[in-house]
Structure 1
Amino acid sequence: MKLKDIVNREIVNLTNCEQEPIHVPGSIQPHGFLVAIDKDFVIRYTSANINNYTSLEVEEVLQNPIELLIGNDQLAEFKYYINHLQEKLTSPHIVNIDNTQFQCVIHKSNDLLICEFEPVSEQIPRVSTVYDQAINFAKYMGQAMTLQQLCDNVATEIRALTGYDRVMVYRFDKEYNGEIFAESKSDDHEPFLGLHYPHTDIPIQARQLYIKNLLRLIVDINYTPVPIFTKEHATNESLDLSHSTLRSVSPIHVEYLKNMGVGATLTISLIHEGKLWGLIACHHYSYKYLDHYTRIAAQLQGHFLTSQIQVREMAEEYIVAATINKSLETLLNQTFLPDRVSLNDLVHQPQILEICHAAGVAVILNEVVYKAGKTPEDDSILKIATWAKERASKGVYSTSSLPKHFPEAEEWCSTASGILYYQLGVVHNETIIWFRPESLQTINWSGDPEKAIVKDINGLSPRKSFEKYQQIVKCQSYDWTKTELTAASTFSYSLQKFITLILLTEEETRQRELTKQLKESNLELENISWISTHDLKEPLRKIQLFSSRLLDLEKNISPDVSITLQKMNASANRMQKLISDITNYSKIRHSENSFESIDLQKLIDKITQELNDEIEEKNAEVTTKGLSSLEGIPVIVHQLFSNLIGNSLKFSKADVPARIHIAQEAEPHRSPEPHDTKLYTKITIIDNGIGFENEFNEKIFKIFTRLHASDKYPGTGIGLALSKKIMQLHNGYIFAEGKKNEGAVFSLYFPA
């Protein structure tokens, strides 16, 4: 039989260690042996050291059934154990091989079963010992008030249980740098408590493997890896040893441990909320083997610890949260007037800083900064707000190291190393920002983190120095906690409502002032209107009277003087008409007459009689179609149609009989205004006069607007503006369409 080993011989160094396939090393540690069997219980892989523990050689075992190794008499129990693997997760199966007892642990790996055999230790703990430890753990778990105390107790108990020289609880931060959070050690070793280790010490694939396999044992750091063999061409796959206890470890990690002077290790994963929270790292400074049951007992304590992490963290947070909530409640229960003076008073309340444990706060409204405590200058605050707004997610942004992301902020480290930003609104750029100064932190590293990789004659290798190295962290504040973020969010929501109330109050004040100014302007306009319609009429009548008397003396005055007097009299008459139209225009706005049903046909007949002289002069014809009734104010509706018919007569063509047609459509219409969905009665007035360019169809309704010279077409320019005012008073519309030298169409829309 031709054999091949599956050892992974890729060259591993610190330049590629993060890609090292540590789950398929192709070798194991020598304190046990391994076989891998298929679904037919045929051995497909075996470790090279099988003959160190049994009388069989590698060649004899491969491609043969498992009973060759364990014997037919144990096969049934072996298969039963495999069929109930899920129920036997912590209990190994005891097998007798060549009169030696082995504890066998089995797990699935793809389509194979990995069977790991270790000789049964003579020092298996008694059940009473394990029971005593469980009782003791339950006792100190209840006594420990903080997470720190609990971790200290776990480290102490595991060291007593296992006998390792040093047991540490190793906690990761969010970048996976590690900190020795708790420690129990023998007196002759220096303490590691409080030391930090860079994330490069435990590469990402190693952290992922710690999540899959919660326990890793290295019995002797100086071990020689044992290769795993298979029959050549029997399989081309590597053997996944992710869940293996005997799995050989990375040579880089072995070198790292040797540099630390460690002889043996036990590592237990601490998983919290599906993530690697930390490790229980047990170090021994010489060879140390730990039996399976003791390992499980230690691992169980790790499980107990992770089950308590959230409880302890919540308990610690509760104490902080109680203080924060008290400050928040005090703040929210205060009453302030809705004005900017009160906003400034609110910002200076001490509780606004207490709810976030901040040193300063700033509220920005209309680019005005209201601030309290230790903050940057106003211009700097506005820069920070603009920068944070662009990076905020749903209007919120927080960081404990602002200069790291915003280099310009380095000059504000003493006041704004950390910021908590909330956008309160977009119209007036309402914003609140809490500030924290830098907290000069001294971090004790186990060796210089910048020298975690050493270059020597052998190339790149793990660092050899683990001497304490102190790092002063600048321009960084304490992190914002969940409790602080929640309190800030609650207050920001209330502040947003308060600012909205301020803005509404200010707008109401502005509107009140504008209304006052408008009333004053209206009074002034009414005074002017009174002067124009009353005080001006008297001198105007005298001008007309004196000019008429002088014209009666026509025989005694020269022709030039007579012409001048005639022009003066005509101007006075035009001014009289203008004053009359202004009076009518003013009256429309103050009309309080009630609406009545108006017979439109009778109204038009009455108007044509009134305009009979003009109609005969223009040789005009006024026709109607379908006129019925409509709701309106009779006096001003009469004025409306009189203006429009008179307008058509005025702008008729010379030497062409004027034709004016007035029609009312039977079915209600929608307004041409796009957003108006109500129904209207449509009336059109069509003439064949001189018309106008359609670009002026809106301009002609503006007061005093004229398209033609007054000497040719007399008038004041108020008639159509008055018509539009009348339609507005009736909640209707008037539109005009014209064609030059062809005529005009006026469309009236009265609410149906």
Structure 2
Amino acid sequence: MTPSIIDLTNCEREPIHILGHIQSYGYLIAIQPDTYAIVHASDNIVDLTGIEAAQLLGQPISKLLTGTDLPGSTLIEILNVVGRNESWESMNPHRLHLNGKYWNLIIHYYKGLILLEWEPIGNDQNLSINQQLIAQALSEVQSSRTLDELLQNTARRVKSIIGYDRVMVYRFGPDWHGKVVAEEKDDDLEPFLGLHYPATDIPRQARELYKVNLVRMIADAGSVPSRILSKPGWPENQPLDLTHSVLRAVSPVHIEYLKNMGVQASMSISLLYRGELWGLISCHNTSPRFVDFPARQAAKFVSQLLSASLEFRKDKEDQTNLLQYQQTGQQLHEQLLLSDDVVRALTKLPITALHVTGATGAALLFNNKVYRLGATPDENAIRALGDWVGATGTESFLETNQLPNLYPPAETFRAVGAGLLTIVLSRELNEYLFWFKPERIEQVTWAGNPDKPVTVEDDGTRRLSPRKSFAAWTEIVHNTSEPWSEAEISVVVKLREDILQIVTKQANEIRLLNQRLQLAYEELDAFSYTVSHDLRTPLSSIRCYTEILVEEYGADLTPDAQALLQKVIDSTDRMRQLIRHILYYSRMGRSELDTQPIDMRQLLDGIREEIMVTTKDRLLHFDIGETPAIKADPTMALQLFTNLLSNAAKYTQLTTEAVVRIKGVQTDGEVIYSIEDNGIGFDMKQAGKIFDLFKRLENARAFDGSGVGLAIVKRIVNRHQGKIWFHSEPNQGTTFFVSFPVIPAT
């Protein structure tokens, strides 16, 4: 009986980095770094050395070279030099003469083992040709006027280096399906330019490997791979990891895929944008073809030139858009300050909310009224949309370029609103500002039907198999708009703060607030009492008793036991600090403000010195610019800037040269300070709850933190009737902006 369940994830789950085989054109051994003993060897190593793999396992590496014309000491000397300098990748390849023939030796160190891989050497004349082609590629990258021209030139250059029948530039979409955006091919081949390929053609684990191993070659899809043998007694659950191997064998599923396409050799070169996979240079050949290591490195260098150019062009484009949107947002902010009327400032003046993004329509739902600008859904649809956004639990903003897929009623107005960007002004009062982008109907031509066929295995299991037909297959895509850029999201996040600053001055902001504040204060009082009495007392006892154990019995304890007791003491210190932060957070909302002029240079210098004392083991530089005075409570101002500067220092720990820049600017109505770092950054689309208590972003979890600091900062800013907003990009750093009114809160 055939099961009814289809395994939709067989491609996603295939362990392609530990397949246990290598491609047959090369040879591999893995050795332990301390003894140079061979623990893994490819079965075909006998063809290289004349010694069976089984006889080499467990032996020193000198055994492998017995009877060859390469002294064992030469190879060991190479390993010693490379290992001492920790330059495994940079010194590849090593040209060695072995058994009457020259070979390229590629060395990698990974997961406690040294991998040595031998592969043939190509024509020496190609080296100078490749250098010339690289110089030409550099010139083309600099002179290409458009992205399409740059991609096409790169495809042509790579084809001339490796000599394959077809070279394509393949760009990934947000859902990881790909499109061929440039192609250079032999005249007798049908074109693939413009065709789309589904995300399942390159599954997730393959995409992750492309980020680590930038060049991947399959020399002969029809060859029989050579298995990897392990020394007797090697744990079965520790197969050799071939993540960095140049010889790693090919997944059977992918071999089937290549054969279905009529491809006998392939090569893929990764294109990265800010460390993430942007696309691939995908190369196909209809007959087996080996490309030697230097030629592959030349092609890799061309792709890196392209990656750098992509990043430069995209950054320049993003910065231009961000500046334009920010200027419009500043004009809107000035209108809000002058009119003190949210509706008029956003919808009635020359610059409206519609102008701060690339949207074609905007709508304000405020005070139970709907105000529409440009092409939008009707009033009833906007009210229903507000109810839906409120039900999603969105705290600050929501963005999607596929609204009908999230909210089915939107199909009725997808012509004007397939994309939605909204900021929450008040969930309780059902007040929102919406931006809409129209549906972008696409005719997508796939390379064959993207739905993979189902195959029944011998055991009755049904699985998805690679497509056998790659004939053009056209699909009409609905319900999708142009995506929202990070620049657009950044500006509307700032606009939300501007609007809320005005709204807090108006009576309708507090009509439901008093009752809720009273309840919140009662809960905070109970919470403060519990923390201060029920938690701090036993915590102090734990610390005290632990210190007694260390003092009285420390000499009799083993080092491991002493270390464990010290961890208990350290943990109690961290817990006490967290309790202190929570207490401060709970009491801050009711404490009286002691507003006075703050010497910001003195305050910032003091914070900088305190941080530098605790970060002596790394390169960290604080650049403090203009420091106009602010009027604030001194204790709260110290707490606010300590949190922001400490965060900036903390999240630059992975940066070789960390820089934190602080500067202030005074306008007629406010003083604005910016704190900019070059740390890990974050995705603006994931930062909706950044100021919530105990909320931490995913990429920050590797760093120590309680999730309380920014909540304290936000509460201090609110107490001073100020504003706080931010702009960030992954791996590009973060900038927080804090503004204080010139006339402080009383």
| TM-score bucket of the superposed structures, by smaller chain | 0.5 to 0.7
Give distance in 2, aligned partners of 1:436 and 1:464. 38
Matched ranges for 1:76-91 at <5 A: 76-83=73-80, 84-85=82-83, 86-90=86-90, 91=92
Deviations 1:424-473 (A, max 9, x none): 24675442111222121222222222x22343787642111112222212
Q: Secondary structure at the match of 1:87?
A: coil
Query: Structure 1 residues 392 and 64 mapped into 2: Cα distance closer, same or farther (>3 Å)?
Result: same
Task: Note if 1:463 corresponds to 2:467.
Answer: yes
Q: Secondary structure at the match of 2:126?
A: coil
Instruction: Tell me what 1:254 maps to.
Output: 255
Correspondence for 1:472 among 476, 484, 496: 476
Identity %: 34
Instruction: Tell me what 1:242 maps to.
Output: 243
Given that residues 168 and 283 in structure 2 are in contact (C-alpha distance below 8 angstroms), is that contact kept between their aligned partners in structure 1? yes
Give distance in 2, aligned partners of 1:54 and 1:337. 84
Instruction: Tell me what 1:66 maps to.
Output: 61
- 1:337 CA drift (Å): 7.4
Letter in 2 for 1:185: K
Given that residues 257 and 468 in structure 2 are in contact (C-alpha distance below 8 angstroms), is that contact kept between their aligned partners in structure 1? yes
Given that residues 159 and 166 in structure 1 are in contact (C-alpha distance below 8 angstroms), is that contact kept between their aligned partners in structure 2? yes
Matched ranges for 1:661-680 at <5 A: none
Deviates more, 1:491-500 or 1:349-358: 491-500
Letter in 1 for 2:52: E
Given that residues 347 and 362 in structure 1 are in contact (C-alpha distance below 8 angstroms), is that contact kept between their aligned partners in structure 2? no
Given that residues 390 and 427 in structure 2 are in contact (C-alpha distance below 8 angstroms), is that contact kept between their aligned partners in structure 1? no
Q: Secondary structure at the match of 1:462?
A: coil
Given that residues 336 and 342 in structure 1 are in contact (C-alpha distance below 8 angstroms), is that contact kept between their aligned partners in structure 2? no
Letter in 2 for 1:397: L
Instruction: Tell me what 1:221 maps to.
Output: 221
Q: Secondary structure at the match of 1:193?
A: coil
Given that residues 346 and 353 in structure 2 are in contact (C-alpha distance below 8 angstroms), is that contact kept between their aligned partners in structure 1? no
- 1:207 CA drift (Å): 1.8
Alpha-carbon RMSD across the aligned residues, in angstroms, is: 3.2
Give distance in 1, aligned partners of 2:306 and 2:114. 31
Task: Note if 1:316 corresponds to 2:310.
Answer: no
Deviations 1:523-547 (A, max 9, x none): xxxxxxxxxxxxxxxxxxxxxxxxx
Instruction: Tell me what 2:202 maps to.
Output: 202
Instruction: Tell me what 2:169 maps to.
Output: 169
Given that residues 415 and 438 in structure 1 are in contact (C-alpha distance below 8 angstroms), is that contact kept between their aligned partners in structure 2? yes
Query: Structure 1 residues 246 and 384 mapped into 2: Cα distance closer, same or farther (>3 Å)?
Result: same
- 1:506 CA drift (Å): 14
Deviations 1:371-421 (A, max 9, x none): 122222222211111211333644211111112111222222222222111
Given that residues 331 and 351 in structure 2 are in contact (C-alpha distance below 8 angstroms), is that contact kept between their aligned partners in structure 1? no
Instruction: Tell me what 1:419 maps to.
Output: 420
Query: Structure 1 residues 406 and 385 mapped into 2: Cα distance closer, same or farther (>3 Å)?
Result: same
Query: Structure 1 residues 94 and 69 mapped into 2: Cα distance closer, same or farther (>3 Å)?
Result: farther
Q: Secondary structure at the match of 1:343?
A: helix
Q: Secondary structure at the match of 1:476?
A: coil
Q: Secondary structure at the match of 2:87?
A: helix
Give distance in 1, aligned partners of 2:413 and 2:77. 69
Correspondence for 1:75 among 61, 72, 77: 72
Correspondence for 1:489 among 486, 493, 502: 493
Q: Secondary structure at the match of 1:424?
A: strand
Instruction: Tell me what 1:22 maps to.
Output: 16
- 1:288 CA drift (Å): 0.5
Give distance in 1, aligned partners of 2:341 and 2:60. 87
- 1:362 CA drift (Å): 1.2
Q: Secondary structure at the match of 2:474?
A: strand
- 1:336 CA drift (Å): 9.2
Q: Secondary structure at the match of 1:280?
A: strand
Give distance in 2, aligned partners of 1:201 and 1:187. 26
- 1:117 CA drift (Å): 1.1
- 1:325 CA drift (Å): 4.8
- 1:224 CA drift (Å): 0.8
Letter in 2 for 1:43: I
Give distance in 2, aligned partners of 1:465 and 1:452. 10
Give distance in 2, aligned partners of 1:338 and 1:501. 13
Matched ranges for 1:608-647 at <5 A: none
Give distance in 1, aligned partners of 2:183 and 2:456. 33
Q: Secondary structure at the match of 1:67?
A: helix
Instruction: Tell me what 1:40 maps to.
Output: 35
Matched ranges for 1:340-739 at <5 A: 343=344, 346-347=347-348, 349=350, 352-391=353-392, 393-425=394-426, 428-449=429-450, 451-455=451-455, 460=463, 461-497=465-501
Q: Secondary structure at the match of 2:480?
A: coil
Letter in 2 for 1:271: L
Give distance in 1, aligned partners of 2:15 and 2:467. 22
Query: Structure 1 residues 489 and 421 mapped into 2: Cα distance closer, same or farther (>3 Å)?
Result: same
Query: Structure 1 residues 37 and 431 mapped into 2: Cα distance closer, same or farther (>3 Å)?
Result: closer
Given that residues 168 and 181 in structure 2 are in contact (C-alpha distance below 8 angstroms), is that contact kept between their aligned partners in structure 1? yes
Q: Secondary structure at the match of 2:28?
A: strand
Correspondence for 1:50 among 45, 53, 59: 45
Give distance in 1, aligned partners of 2:269 and 2:131. 21
Instruction: Tell me what 2:295 maps to.
Output: 294
Deviations 1:270-300 (A, max 9, x none): 3333332222211111111101110111112
- 1:333 CA drift (Å): 5.5
Instruction: Tell me what 1:597 maps to.
Output: none
| Larger Rg computed on CA atoms | 1
Q: Secondary structure at the match of 1:271?
A: strand
Letter in 1 for 2:131: Y
Given that residues 130 and 161 in structure 2 are in contact (C-alpha distance below 8 angstroms), is that contact kept between their aligned partners in structure 1? no
- 1:40 CA drift (Å): 2.1
Instruction: Tell me what 1:611 maps to.
Output: none
Given that residues 215 and 268 in structure 1 are in contact (C-alpha distance below 8 angstroms), is that contact kept between their aligned partners in structure 2? yes
Deviations 1:156-209 (A, max 9, x none): 211111111122222222322222232222222222222221111112222222
Q: Structure 2: state its 5+ residue gaps.
A: 1-5, 512-589, 593-746
Q: Secondary structure at the match of 1:300?
A: helix
Give distance in 1, aligned partners of 2:484 and 2:397. 13
Instruction: Tell me what 2:284 maps to.
Output: 283
Query: Structure 1 residues 111 and 201 mapped into 2: Cα distance closer, same or farther (>3 Å)?
Result: same
Instruction: Tell me what 2:274 maps to.
Output: 273
Q: Secondary structure at the match of 2:364?
A: strand
- 1:214 CA drift (Å): 2.0
Letter in 2 for 1:364: L
- 1:152 CA drift (Å): 2.5
- 1:222 CA drift (Å): 0.6
**TM-score, length-normalised on structure 2?**
0.61
- 1:368 CA drift (Å): 0.8
Q: Secondary structure at the match of 1:176?
A: coil
Q: Secondary structure at the match of 2:71?
A: helix
- 1:248 CA drift (Å): 0.8
Instruction: Tell me what 1:727 maps to.
Output: none
Give distance in 1, aligned partners of 2:495 and 2:30. 62
Q: Secondary structure at the match of 1:102?
A: strand
Instruction: Tell me what 2:546 maps to.
Output: none
Alignment size in residue pairs: 496
Query: Structure 1 residues 342 and 31 mapped into 2: Cα distance closer, same or farther (>3 Å)?
Result: closer
Instruction: Tell me what 2:142 maps to.
Output: 142
Query: Structure 1 residues 331 and 250 mapped into 2: Cα distance closer, same or farther (>3 Å)?
Result: same
Instruction: Tell me what 1:584 maps to.
Output: none
